[in-house]
Amino acid sequence: MTETTTETEEQSTGTSVGSGDTDTRTTKGESEERTRDEWREYSFSEDAILSVDDLNVYYGDDHALKDISMDIPEKSVTALIGPSGCGKSTFLRCLNRMNDRIKSARVEGTVEYNGEDVYQDGTNLVELRKRIGMVFQAPNPFPKSIRDNIAYGPRKHGDINRGFVASLLGRDDKEEEDELVEESLRKAALWDEVNDRLDDNALGLSGGQQQRLCIARCLAVNPEVILMDEPASALDPVATSKIEDLIEELAKEYTVVVVTHNMQQAARISDQTAVFLTGGELVEYDETDKIFENPESQRVEDYVTGKFG
Ligand SMILES: Nc1ncnc2c1ncn2[C@@H]1O[C@H](COP(=O)(O)OP(=O)(O)OP(=O)(O)O)[C@@H](O)[C@H]1O
């Protein structure tokens, strides 16, 4: 039976090609064996905030990701595309160790965040997931007020003190909280729509607003990287377009890694695109224009032109 992760408050708040030593794929116009080092010309290592090396993931005996190596540059949008089951979400979850929650999952290889291996012993997972936040496919606000959704993480982490005891001690951070709520909602392009009803239940918002609230909630704990797993796939076209605009805006300040099934969306919003194909292989990773206009691999060309998928 497949285990699933549960989307809890903790999850929400708190180029090279990854082949083996050789790559025997047929490239367009030529059939040659490329060594892994040759593929590394597609490296984004200079600005890398996340650096993945020889990552392998297993669920029991199922080898879900194979020898993935790639650098993710900071303050940009990296799209992960590929057919269902090729391992995009698994890869995303490795970046902030969310796969730790899946008992059958085993991860080998390294994932460096700002030069530190997140899989080393002693990693503070709460801190890691604050710095590398996550937004899910289905909007999942808490059944609380809009304000409480944003303030939940900072209060829980002790960055903001509220309540009776805090006020007795003269340490009530109401002003700081108000500022944080406004700033987070503004950054998520939601402030203008909700500033007159911050104490209303978040579940009364539209799906698109709920998703932007989830992004605001993630921003409130001061992340550096935002992982998004198909953040617009449950939304209508207007709400999707707002999320896409927001992602482009966020990338000025944050590093965004987004899984999407929607190739047009990847082409519209991302700076670089990684194409995973069946079997958990990363087949090509490059600047998005290159992937969509002139990919190296025939399999990638077939995929992005819709010949299979
Ligand atoms: N929790 C799990 N337990 C066992 N196997 C899993 C689990 N999650 C994913 N897998 C398996 O790992 C492989 C990759 O799945 P993953 O969900 O990462 O792919 P994906 O590309 O994100 O798919 P989709 O686009 O359908 O979401 C699949 O074979 C899947 O069945």
pLDDT in tens, the chain (309 residues): 344 434 444 555 552 333 333 333 334 344 433 444 444 445 666 789 999 999 999 999 999 999 999 999 999 999 999 999 999 999 999 999 999 999 999 999 999 999 999 999 999 999 999 999 999 999 999 999 999 999 998 888 767 666 666 566 667 667 888 999 999 999 999 999 999 999 999 999 999 999 999 999 999 999 999 999 999 998 999 999 999 999 999 999 999 999 999 999 999 999 999 999 988 999 999 999 999 999 999 999 999 998 876
Is residue 160 domain-resident?
A: yes
Residue 210 phi, psi (nearest 5): -60, -40
93: nearest Cα among 66, 114, 111: 111
Is residue 33 domain-resident?
A: no
Compute, in angstroms, the gap from residue 90 CA to the centroid of ligand 1.
6
Domain hosting 164: range is 143-221
Ligand 1 pocket: which residues have CB below 6 Å? 2-4, 59, 62, 64, 82, 84-90, 102, 104
**Tokens coding 232:** 């617009």
Compute, in angstroms, the gap from residue 65 CA to the centroid of ligand 1.
10
Is residue 177 domain-resident?
A: yes
279: nearest Cα among 2, 64, 93: 64
Residues 243/171, Cβ–Cβ less than 8 Å: no
Nearest CA to ligand 1 atom 23: 85
Number of structural domains in the chain? 1
Nearest CA to ligand 1 atom 11: 64
Nearest CA to ligand 1 atom 30: 85
The pairing of strands 255-259 and 77-81 is: parallel
* CA dist list (Å): 220 to 80, 124, 186, 196, 224: 25, 19, 11, 19, 11
Nearest CA to ligand 1 atom 4: 2
Compute, in angstroms, the gap from residue 85 CA to the centroid of ligand 1.
5
Is residue 166 domain-resident?
A: yes
Rounded to two decimals, the ipTM of the complex is 0.98
Strands (DSSP E) found in the chain:
22-23, 26-27, 30-31, 34-35, 48-59, 62-73, 77-81, 105-113, 116-117, 132-135, 225-229, 255-259, 272-277, 281-287
Compute, in angstroms, the gap from residue 12 CA to the centroid of ligand 1.
20
Q: Report d(CA 291, CA 182) in Å as an integer.
A: 38
Compute, in angstroms, the gap from residue 234 CA to the centroid of ligand 1.
19
Nearest CA to ligand 1 atom 24: 84
Residue 268 phi, psi (nearest 5): -70, -45
- Give DSSP secondary structure letters for 249-281: HHTTTSEEEEE-S-HHHHHHH-SEEEEEETTTE
Most informative mutation of 2, 7, 94 for ligand 1 (most atoms within 8 A of CB):
2
Is residue 307 domain-resident?
A: no
Burial of 194 from C-beta contacts in 10 A (0-12 / 13-18 / 19+) = buried
Integer distance in angstroms from the first to the last C-alpha of the chain? Answer: 25
Most informative mutation of 90, 91, 95 for ligand 1 (most atoms within 8 A of CB):
90
Q: Report d(CA 277, CA 275) in Å as an integer.
A: 6
Most informative mutation of 57, 59, 282 for ligand 1 (most atoms within 8 A of CB):
59
How far is C-alpha 264 from the chain's CA centre? 18
Is residue 176 domain-resident?
A: yes
* CA dist list (Å): 58 to 100, 107, 109, 279, 307: 12, 7, 12, 12, 29
Q: What is the pLDDT of residue 28?
A: 39
**pTM of this structure:** 0.85
Most informative mutation of 68, 88, 258 for ligand 1 (most atoms within 8 A of CB):
88
Is residue 214 domain-resident?
A: yes
Nearest CA to ligand 1 atom 14: 87
Is residue 31 domain-resident?
A: no
* CA dist list (Å): 297 to 22, 157, 231, 256, 269: 14, 46, 28, 25, 22
Q: What is the pLDDT of residue 163?
A: 67
Q: Which residue has the tokens 């600047």?
A: 287
Q: Report d(CA 204, CA 46) in Å as an integer.
A: 44
Q: Which amino acid is at 10?
A: E
Residues 32/40, Cβ–Cβ less than 8 Å: no
